[in-house]
Amino acid sequence: MYSTTDFRKGLKMEVEGTPFEIVDFQHFKPGKGGAMVRTKVRNILTRRIQDITFRSGEKVDKPDLETRDMQFLYHQDDDLVFMDMTTYEQMQMPAAVTGGKDGFLKDGQEYRVLLYKGRPLDIDIPLIFVLKVIDTEPGVKGDTVSNVTKPATLETGIAVQVPIFVNTGDRIKVDTRTREYLGRE
């Protein structure tokens, strides 16, 4: 169990059978009565953010969360199929719950998957991903205006804006949080 003194950003807890992650929190003492803790939490199952207030010293449960190394196999309709690397059991996960991270998954690559009561919920991916450009327009010679970008499709199917000097076949670094071009490899 966690006490309100253990609260920090990113802490995962369970309140009334629902797993939450703390996004922000603030200790405060009203004019009369005991101290309180206001929290802004994200429901891990639905990704919805809500506010919950706790009395100081109140206890909350630890959620039944587990992380496992799994290999991404393929996309199946709107689901992602992973294989547990220890039991070789396959699990499906809705692509929508990843918050757009599914655009960075490569077939056959290992990822760390967050499970809640045995159900896959989220994927840990690196902050910077190196991907190959499979389609982009060729740059126009002599176009030297700064900050000119063009769309490029990457090997996983996502599209990002890249500078005009990037060509098909180049390997580029992409920020997985913002989907921004960071440089060539």
pTM of the full structure: 0.69
Give the per-residue pLDDT at 81: 92
Domain identity same for 55 and 72: no
Domain identity same for 150 and 174: yes
Kindly report, residue by residue over 153-169, the tens digit of the pLDDT: 998 888 999 988 888 99
Q: What is the CATH number of the domain that holds 104?
A: 2.40.50.140
**Total structural domains within the chain:** 3
Give the per-residue pLDDT at 166: 87
Give the single-character DSSP code of 104: G
Domain membership of residue 170 as a residue range:
128-184
pLDDT at 26 over 70: yes
Domain identity same for 115 and 143: no
pLDDT, the chain, mean = 87
Kindly report, residue by residue over 139-153, the tens digit of the pLDDT: 766 666 667 888 999
Structure tokens at 182: 């960071």
pLDDT average, residue stretch 19-29: 89
CA geometry: angle 56, 62, 68, nearest 5 deg? 150
Q: What is the CATH number of the domain that holds 50?
A: 2.30.30.30
Give the per-residue pLDDT at 141: 65
Kindly report, residue by residue over 169-184, the tens digit of the pLDDT: 999 999 888 889 998 8
Residue 124: closest CA among 82, 89, 181, 61: 82
Residue type, 27: H
* Helix ranges, 77-184 (H): none
Give the per-residue pLDDT at 142: 61
Residue type, 9: K
How is 59-96 classified by DSSP, letter by letter?
EEBPP-EEEEEEEEEEEETTEEEEEETTT--EEEEEGG
Kindly report, residue by residue over 119-141, the tens digit of the pLDDT: 888 888 888 889 999 988 887 66
Give the per-residue pLDDT at 73: 92
Give the per-residue pLDDT at 83: 92
Domain identity same for 119 and 132: no
